[in-house]
Structure formats: structure tokens, C-alpha cells
Structure 1
């Protein structure tokens, strides 16, 4: 299978004499021309997955599982091959362009750098400059911005420069880690439309990471919700947002106010408590201490992704005992009926 294929990805950080699990058995498929969203609170493991794609994690991270880009295993690549795959096979748009761009170099030179290293076109410097101009135009920037320094551009313009850099070597996969978090709503919408257009026109596989469930629902084909290092729900993006089946997904969706609803403004919803410490996960379901619909068996059952029944919009799954097939405790009634009330 071409594109990005992740199977049973586990990432553990060494912390003194103990190990801290950050990602626990994540599976992801990002096919060419498709967009997959990854949502969750800070600390759920989203960015760790993004950095693992090109082995950008620190040396203290231990990575196991399978991680393939265009049928090549990234985790077993030699350094020379990995260096060639970065930018050319897959690239990353990092959160906060101002922190990612070099403040003392013009943005045109920074866009040209991966081209010169990985895909220098015939014709020398003139062809490289032409390629930079073309990339700037593709992301909606005038050619003269190539001579600007990062501080001379707005936040939205800098983010477009980062996207141009990600496109510089025609990669098949782009990982966008919170690409619009620092932007206002209007510029955010422009960047999201730009990413969607580039995916369609260039057949790029895009994995977009965000804490904003609504953004992912409107820009992605499929959506994965992560909690405590695991995927707890996945399915068609708009369906997961419209009718979430995992209590954590329900809480994320409820955190967004309803426009025109005064009650939502005066009484904003949210999730009680904080995500668990990865080094001291609770027994059973990791979400149990914050879940208002937990049952007795949640303290002992650590659920895996289970197919959601009676769904006709595409494959859906949730890691919750309320969608498992075994008979629940008698006082809680039928599992499917309870699932439909979420």
C-alpha cells in the first residue's frame, strides 16, 4: 500500500530510571489524495506520532512498530536513506512558523534549501529561483516575498512559506502539526482551503494534527481521536463530529460553543480534570476518572477499538465498553441502545 502506513506504533520516553509511554499501539493509513485528521488534548500523543513519521524524536525515545512511507520502513532506514526521504518523500509543517523559520535568512533562500539538497532542477540557480517563485504563487504569495525576512511577513504569510517549503521537493506525504493554531479565524480558513486544494491538485496524502475537532471535521476525510497515547475513536470525519460514540469525543465536541445559543456562551461545556500522567495510567479505561458514564467494568477492562454497530457511512470504531459486544451489567440495559444516546 503506497502512502503512509503506521501499524502498532509505540513510543516510550526514558525518564530517569523509569519509562513513560507516550504512544501506545497507534495505526494510521494516509493514502495519496486523502486527508486524515488526528485530534485530542495536549499530551495525548498527537505530535509524537507526527515527529515519529520521519524519526525526528529525541534520542531518549524508543520507537517500535511499523512505519512505512511508499512501502519503505522508516524505522529501519539507514541515515543516508532517511535523509533522502525527508522533504522528498514526506515533509512536515510545524506549529508556529516564526519559530521554525531562520530569522536571519530570506524566506526564498529557506525554500530553496531543500530543493538544492534533494531535488535540484537542471539549469542551476536560475531554475531553483523559478521553482521558488512557482511555489510562492501556489501558496498565494507574490514572488517579491522571496526577498523578505520572516519578521517582515504576517503570521498567515509565514505559515504559507512553511507550506511552500513542505511542497518544495514534491513529497507524497505531508504531516501538518497544528498548522493554524496561531492564526486568526479568517487566515485559518484561508490556510485550510489552501491545504485542501493542494491535496486535490497534487494527490498528496495529508495527516493534519489539531486540538480543534471542528476544523478537522470540515477539512479531513477521516478523523482519529487520541487520548492517553491511544486512538479511542475513528471514522468518517463529519460523522465522528456529528455523532461521536466515545465519551471523550463527546466531551471534545461539547467544548465548542453553539453560535447563536446564549446558554452555550454563559455555561460553556468542558471535561473535568486533566489527562492522566502517562507514567501512572489508571487501571482499566484510561478515560474512566473523567467519564460521567463509566460503569463498574471500566475499572478492569482496557478497551481496544471495536467496530461501532449499525453504521452505514463508512468504517467506524470506538474504544469503549459501551460499544463492545459482550452483555453489559444488567442495570445499564442494552449496549447498542446506550451507544445511540451518546
Structure 2
């Protein structure tokens, strides 16, 4: 009975162009993925500064794991509360301008933990409708009432806030949206925060390290709580939450996803410290990333494509889910990998090719991508 239900749903996914079956890569090298003995140009990576394959990052991380070992072997509240983890959290809090920080094994777990713990029945969360799936799950588990506002619309957010009618309100949004690629209206959110006095929780996973002075993101002036991930610009794994010290103490005592899990190893914290220093000094990489992102956006628009994105995440509009899959497959056949983002990651019938730019990309890579996707789309159009 269960197997039949699963089979039916998978068949429906295939018919609707929503089936997920990622290619199996053999490894990676610089800006390329290795597939069947061939190099494939990678436009699906979140390694925005291009640090994950560098020798300096790899050497320091390897040395930390040799020195500290591979596992903490305990939850944080049992015997995993190591001094190096505390030092790393303090360093991240200081660097980004917050009172405290907490490390989590993943961004998904971090969003799940903070939202399900900090908010409860009787509270209200007003959220941007394009927030990450982990944030949706976290606020659902919280028990709080929640209401969505139209993506990045400060006018609609103001209407939601006006209708809330009580003080226990939080606003949940992102600073750089992971699929749309657009930036939060920080000034607009700030004006509303001053008027309504809500708590702001901002997911800065895609901006920390890559945007703002020294990679500090863009939302500090409005965010009471901010989430970052090590698995993107910081070239590691896991996540960090920046927050008031009182909130950290509260998480230590009441956050189930934090309390009942093995903590990240000491080697991770030591590596996080090393990588923070590297990220701080990577202004040249941030500058090159911005230049390449602007060039890709301009070249695609010159070719007549509809493309959105204010920074290093670009969304190439396709629409039909099956077409998005075909375009992605054709790109891969031509030595380029780019993700076909489909429902429920993006709204139904609004499929995109998500282009992740990195500091490793070059002008010739952009030229190859634009020329190839133009030819593929022309060929598909001629067959319809």
C-alpha cells in the first residue's frame, strides 16, 4: 500500500516535470565539476568566493581535523561544550556586530531551531512569501500565528502589520533571496520596524561573506536575529545564528534541535576561525564576483532573456517545468551545469534556470553560457 502510493506520486512528478534525479558527479576542480571524465562548467554552486577548492582553505581545515579529531562525540550540553567553539562563536558575534552567536550543524536545522523555539502560540510571525523552506517549517512548528506578505513588498508588509493588533510580532525575511536573487529593501524594513516595533529575523545565508563591507551582509541595521551558513561563501559546512545574548541562553535551555544533537566538532570551530580571517581579506574576490555577476546579467538581457537578480544569484525565466528540465539537460550535454528550479522551490509554472555566480568565473565562461543557452532556447522554440 505504501509502495504503491510512493510510486504513483513519483510518476506524477515525472509527468509534470517535477521529478528530481540529479546527475552524479565524480568530483570538482576549480570552477568545474567532473562528470564521466569530462569537465563541466559549474553555474550551480553556492561557493560564492570560490574558497572551497583553494589550497589554503583545504590545508588549514585538514590540519584542524588532524589536531582536534573528527567528532565531538556528544551533544553541546553533555560534554561537547568546548572552549574553541565558544571562542569561534564569540569571534563571529563580534565580527558581524551582535552580542552572541550559536553554531548549528546545518542552515535547515538552524532555521528550524530558532523559529520553533523563540516563537510560540500567542505570537504572530509576518513572513515574506519567498522565504526558505526551512523557515516555513520552523514557524509552522512554533505554534505562532503566521501571515505572508507579497514578496519584497513593504506596502503589503505594512498592511499586515497594521492588522496584527498586538505587540508580540516578528517579521521573517531574507537579505538576498536564494531563488529570486533580489535584495531586501533594508531601508524600507527599517522604517516599518521603527514604526511598529517588531523583532526582525533575517536569513543572510546567501549574503554573508559575499556582500557588504568585509562580507558582513546587508541587514545588520534591521536584524535582531540573523542566520548565516558556512556551506556557501565560507567554504565549510554547518551554520551560525547571530542574536542577543539572552536569546542564546534561551536556545541552550529550550531549543530541541540544538539540545538533542551531537555538536559540530572542535575542528569545525577552529576552521571557522581560520576561514573568517580568509573571508575578511577576500575583498578582491568579492569585487570580481560582483563584476562577473553584472556582466552575466547584462549579457543575458542583451540576448532578450528575462533575468532577475541584484547580485550573484540570477534567475533566468523559463516558465514551464518540463522546458526548464530540457534546457538544463541540454546545457549539461554542452558542458555546462545550471540548476532547473521548479515547484515547490519556486511557484508553479514559474520555473527558472538558477545561475549561481562565483569569484572563480571568467568572462569567457559567461560568453559560453550565454551563447549556449541562446542556441538551446532557439532550437527548442523551433520545435514547438
TM-score (norm 2): 0.27
Q: Which has the higher contact order (CA 8 A, sep 6+)?
A: 2
